[in-house]
Amino acid sequence: MQQTFHPTLILGGGFAGLFTALHLSHQNYSHPIILIEQRDRFSFKPLLYELLSGELHSTQVYPRYEELLAGSSVTFVQDTAKSIHPHQRRVTLASGKVCDYSNLVLALGSKTTYFDTPGAAEYAMLFTSGKEAMALRKHLQHRLHQAIQTQDSERRRQLVTVAIIGAGPAGIELACTLADLLPIWYDELGGDADEIRVALVNRSREILKGDVNSHLRCTVQRALKRRVVSVDFLFDAAVTKIHADGVEYRQHEQTQILQAGTIVWTAGTAPNPLLMELPVPNNRGRLVVTPTLQLPDFPEIFAAGDCATDRDHPQPTTAQVAYQQGKAIAHNLKRLEEGKPAIPVQIQMRGTLMKLGLNEGVANLFNKVQIKGQPGHLIREATYLQLLPNSAHNRKVTTEWLTDELFQRHRPFSHMQLGQTPWLYGVATVAAGLILAAPLIWRAAEPMQFQQNLSWTGVPTLLDRLTPPAR
Ligand SMILES: Cc1cc2nc3c(=O)[nH]c(=O)nc-3n(C[C@H](O)[C@H](O)[C@H](O)COP(=O)(O)OP(=O)(O)OC[C@H]3O[C@@H](n4cnc5c(N)ncnc54)[C@H](O)[C@@H]3O)c2cc1C
């Protein structure tokens, strides 16, 4: 008689959840796999700036789950998890459905918090999903159109001012992108690009405080100034209220108002409230997991990404961590299915990447080497394009190809103090340049062969977009 299994349920289709599902499917996992996600599309958050600017298309950065999972063994259910009952091994959904599971993966990410700031929920826009990125794009274009028709110069200045609350990585990357992009858009409409103002409002004096990118501070500060319009940095500015047309803040014991046509809130995250109801320990709202990413009292439940932490090996809340954890959970679930024990998860921090404008970025390899400017931008974009789940869907190895080229092959350098050693910095830059140049040379010499061999990686498309081939 054939044995029937309860499915493996995955709650949340972000980096941790989606990649758990995709990797399980690639491993021919025999249990049914059900992915429950409240939205219909996956948001590739590191590339939302490119969606906003139009540098990348929504089908790349904001694809539908149905399309991503077509042909896989994953069943996608668009619904919201409402309660989790670990003792009964059961989840209830907003639709009223009840799902029993044999294994559960909690990958619900985090939520935005406004720290009870009056007016923030009403008047500030968010930038955490594809939907929000597209709404912001539409809003900004509307503001520029309004401005171009406005005679009153004070009102026009207000319409073309953007206030971004929070100088963490998302606030900074957004500010840099808009400070390059808005002057172009406004100029195309016939506006005076010098009128555009992008202001970054931050509670403390420090940017990137406590963030994994904090050692990039100097590079970032220079980049903020070097944009098409330089970004205004309002520091020691505690936002007290958001109005429909501006931000009120306390600075040097005085209340100030920044008139702005667009206000974007990037300042805080809070735990997913659903997880706080579970009878398990948490650390500042993140579920405490074992090194194998299981809940200590419920080993059939795994948790990963922004909503979980291993106290002994804490990891930053980043996509690259969530992605690797998703893959590791799939591996461990497969081991459990084969009657083998789960094994501890090794996360390899391959460095960090930041967008610092339309054509500028920084790739920080192993916290030792910084590759800046256009090369940094190319490395960042190429690395993330390889992680797009479309390619993971084709074959999991594609997701790691260029990332490995860029980060892992240089591992022998990783113990050296490259950041302080100019010649090694130069060597690393040249090496990265060669890695980028090799496909260009191949494409020029053997265009057909290049296309045939690498079309599955997305690299030909990327190169064609960045440097169109000579005709
Ligand atoms: C603008 C921005 C830029 C970023 N840039 C980078 C970067 O350059 N590099 C980097 O490494 N990291 C970056 N990050 C951080 C990174 O995106 C997160 O760390 C990562 O997405 C965490 O993955 P996750 O799976 O834990 O959570 P998420 O990706 O947030 O996924 C959680 C999912 O759960 C779903 N969900 C929540 N509650 C429910 C429910 N009750 N029922 C059903 N579904 C639910 C959500 O809709 C969501 O799809 C960025 C984040 C933002 C916002």
| Domain CATH code at residue 298 | 3.50.50.60
CATH number at residue 251: 3.50.50.100
To 5 degrees, how large is the angle CA 109–CA 166–CA 54?
Answer: 75
Please give all residues whose beta carbon lies within 6 A of any atom in ligand 1, as ranges.
11-17, 36-39, 45-46, 48, 80-81, 107-109, 127-128, 170, 272, 274, 305-307, 317-320, 322, 353
**Confidence class of residue 362 from pLDDT cuts 50, 70 and 90?**
very high
Of the residues 108, 137, 278, which should be mutated to test ligand 1's pocket, given the most ligand atoms within 8 Å of the CB? 108
Question: What pLDDT does residue 245 have?
Answer: 96
- CA dist., res. 298 & res. 103, Å (int): 10
Domain boundary among 288, 304, 337: 337
As a whole number, the mean pLDDT across the chain is: 86
pLDDT band at 403 (very low <50, low <70, confident <90, very high): very low
146-173 per-position pLDDT tens digit? 999 999 999 999 999 999 999 999 999 9
Instruction: For 343, list phi and psi in degrees, rounded to 5.
Output: -115, 155
79: region left, alpha or beta (phi > 0 left; psi from -120 to 50 alpha): beta
Which residue, by CA, sits nearest to atom 8 of ligand 1? Answer: 46
Query: Do the domain assignments include residue 344?
Result: no
Q: Pairing mode, if any, of strands 286-288 and 308-309?
A: parallel
Question: Amino acid identity of 165?
Answer: I
- Tell me, in angstroms, the distance from the centre of ligand 1 to residue 410's CA: 29
* Residue whose CB lies within 8 A of the most ligand 1 atoms, among 306, 350, 377, for a mutation test: 306
Q: Ligand 1, closest atom to CA 36?
A: 43
Maximum pairwise Cα distance, the chain: 80
**CA-closest residue to ligand 1 atom 41:** 81
pLDDT at residue 415 tops 80: no
- For the ranges 30-34, 193-197, 394-398, which has the lowest average pLDDT? 394-398
* Separation of alpha carbons 385 and 330, rounded Å: 22
CA of 191 to the centre of ligand 1 (A): 36
Q: Would 143 be classed as within a structural domain?
A: yes
Residue 346 lies in a domain: no
Query: What is the number of other CB atoms lying within 10 angstroms of the CB of residue 145?
Result: 15
Q: Return the residue whose CA atom lies nearest to atom 21 of ligand 1.
A: 319
Query: How far apart, in whole angstroms, are the C-alpha atoms of residue 139 and residue 437?
Result: 39
Alpha-carbon distances, residue 48 vs 127, 173, 180, 346 (angstroms): 8, 10, 16, 28
* 227: CB partners within 8 A, 6+ apart: 176, 179, 180, 198, 357
Same domain, 20 and 133: no
User: Ligand 1: distance of its center to the CA of 16 in Å?
Assistant: 8
Judged by average pLDDT, the poorest of 166-180, 384-398, 422-436 is: 422-436
Which letter does DSSP use for residue 345 in this model?
P
pLDDT band at 454 (very low <50, low <70, confident <90, very high): low
Among the listed residues 265, 167, 147, the one whose alpha carbon sits nearest the alpha carbon of residue 216: 167
Average pLDDT (298-309) is 97
What pLDDT band is residue 441 in, cutting at 50, 70 and 90? low
Do residues 262 and 274 both lie within one domain?
no
* Domain stops at, among 212, 238, 267: 267
Which residue's CA is the closest to the ligand 1 atom numbered 23? 15
Residue identifier of the C-alpha nearest atom 45 of ligand 1: 12
20 in a domain, yes or no?
yes
Task: Indicate whether 389 and 442 sit together in one domain.
Answer: yes
Pairwise pLDDT comparison (189 vs 432), residue with the higher score: 189
The reply to whether 174 and 237 lie within a common domain is yes
Task: Write the burial class of residue 434 (CB in 10 Å: 0-12 exposed, 13-18 middle, 19+ buried).
Answer: exposed
345 is a domain residue: no
pLDDT band at 392 (very low <50, low <70, confident <90, very high): very low
CA of 15 to the centre of ligand 1 (A): 6
pLDDT higher than 70, residue 468: no
Per residue in 80-101, pLDDT (tens digit) is 999 999 999 999 999 999 999 9
- Please report the atom of ligand 1 found closest to the CA of residue 129: 53
Note the pLDDT of residue 351: 83
Mutate to test the pocket of ligand 1, among 10, 15, 113 (most ligand atoms within 8 A of CB): 15
The secondary element (H helix, E strand) that includes residue 257 is strand 254-259
Instruction: Give the whole-angstrom CA distance, residue 431 versus residue 308.
Output: 36
Q: 215: CA distance to ligand 1 center in Å?
A: 23
Tokens, residue 254 = 């005085």
Contact 337, 30 (CB under 8 A): yes
Non-local CB neighbours of 204 within 8 Å, separated by 6+ positions: 235, 236
Predicted local distance difference test score (pLDDT) of residue 395: 41
Question: Rg (Cα) of the chain, in Å, rounded?
Answer: 23
Q: Which segments of 159-243 are extended strands (E)?
A: 161-165, 197-201, 232-234, 238-243
Ligand 1 probe mutation, 318, 364, 388, most atoms within 8 A of CB:
318
Residue 3 lies in a domain: no
- Residue of the nearest CA to atom 35 in ligand 1? 12
Q: What pLDDT is stored for residue 402 in this prediction? A: 38
Say whether both 383 and 394 belong to one domain. yes
Residue type at 348? Q
Residue with CA closest to ligand 1 atom 38: 108
The CA 246 to ligand 1 mean position distance, Å, reads 28
Which of these ranges, 111-115, 142-146, 383-387, has the smallest mean pLDDT? Answer: 383-387
In this prediction, residue 121 carries a pLDDT of 97
The SS3 assignment for 1 reads: coil
d(CA 365, CA 50): 22
Same domain? 192 vs 54? no
The mean per-residue pLDDT over the stretch 130-134 comes to: 98
Q: What tokens does 149 get?
A: 């028709």
Residue nearest ligand 1's atom 5 by CA: 46
251 and 283 within one domain = no
d(CA 77, CA 99): 11
CA–CA distances in Å: residue 61 to residues 133, 307, 358, 387, 404? 11, 22, 16, 11, 21
Looking at residues 359-371, what average pLDDT do you find? 86
Tell whether 1 is covered by a domain: no
Question: 450 pLDDT band (50/70/90 cuts)?
Answer: low
The reported pTM is 0.84
Residues 68 and 102 in one domain: yes
> Are residues 106 and 157 both part of a single domain?
no
Residue 273 in this model has a pLDDT that exceeds 80: yes
Domain span holding position 216: 120-267
Say how many domains are in the chain: 3
- 61 and 154 both lie in a single domain: no
The confidence score (pLDDT) of residue 45 equals 95
Q: How many A from CA of 217 to the centre of ligand 1?
A: 24
Which residue's CA is the closest to the ligand 1 atom numbered 3?
A: 46
Residue 402 shares a structural domain with residue 315: no
Its sign, for the CA torsion 65, 333, 292, 82, is positive
Nearest atom, ligand 1, residue 308 CA: 26
Q: What is the pLDDT of residue 467?
A: 56
Q: Which two tokens stand for residue 267?
A: 């300042």
> How far apart (Å, rounded) are the C-alpha atoms in residues 204 and 237?
7
User: Pick from 132, 22, 46, 17: which is nearest to 382 by CA?
Assistant: 46
Distance 307 CA to ligand 1 centre (A): 10
Say whether both 172 and 85 belong to one domain: no
pLDDT band at 69; cut points 50, 70, 90: very high
Among candidate residues 337, 360, 380, the one where a domain is terminated: 337
